[in-house]
Amino acid sequence: MARLSRGATPHSRTLRLGSALRHALDGIRHAWQTEPNFRLETAVGALALLLALWLGVNLAPVLLAVGLVLSLELLNTAIEATVDLASPEPHPLAKTAKDTAAAAVLTASVAALLLGLYLFLPPLWERLAR
């Protein structure tokens, strides 16, 4: 059984977990409402999952790729907000931080696209050739 910190009860740990979950969902809600790229990547990810189900492709790599892209987009949003708070005026280092975070999302997106082509093209070609 997990050890409780001094003064912590199972009830207080549950409350902290619930609070952490609410904060995480608030972050997802914020990204959904304010970030068009997050909405687009979510839609593309959902389509990829539906295509994987239709083609009978292993879902694990697709889920991992979708999760990676969406997670990096959320981190990109957090980095942009932090940079804007710390450096409201344009600064070369602020630009570098934002550009590099965006590059991480782009890199994962390209890798996900290549993975999708690798996984989906053979069974898709086979279905269409029937």
How far CA 86 is from CA of 9, 83, 94, 97, 122, in Å, comes to 37, 5, 9, 12, 48
Q: Which of 35, 41, 73, 89 is catalytic?
A: 73
Report the pLDDT value the prediction gives residue 1, as an integer from 0 to 100. 46
Residue 76 belongs to some domain of the structure: yes
Q: Which of 128, 120, 16 lies closest to 59 in space, CA to CA?
A: 120
Residue 11 belongs to some domain of the structure: no
Report the pLDDT value the prediction gives residue 113, as an integer from 0 to 100. 98
Residue 4 belongs to some domain of the structure: no
Q: Which of 9, 8, 1, 23 lies closest to 74 in space, CA to CA?
A: 23
Is 73 known to be catalytic? yes
The CATH number assigned to the domain holding 67 equals 1.10.287.3610
Full-model pTM: 0.86
In eight-state DSSP terms, residue 73 is H
Residue 3 belongs to some domain of the structure: no
Report the pLDDT value the prediction gives residue 101, as an integer from 0 to 100. 98
Q: What is the span of the domain harbouring residue 106?
A: 36-129
Report the pLDDT value the prediction gives residue 17, as an integer from 0 to 100. 87
Report the pLDDT value the prediction gives residue 3, as an integer from 0 to 100. 57
Distance from C-alpha of 17 to C-alpha of 14, rounded to nearest angstrom: 5
Per residue of the chain (130 residues), give pLDDT as tens.
Answer: 455 556 667 767 777 888 999 999 999 999 999 999 999 999 999 999 999 999 999 999 999 999 999 999 999 999 999 999 999 999 999 999 999 999 999 999 999 999 999 999 999 999 999 8
Residue 19 has, within 13 A of its CA and on its CB side, a CA count of: 6
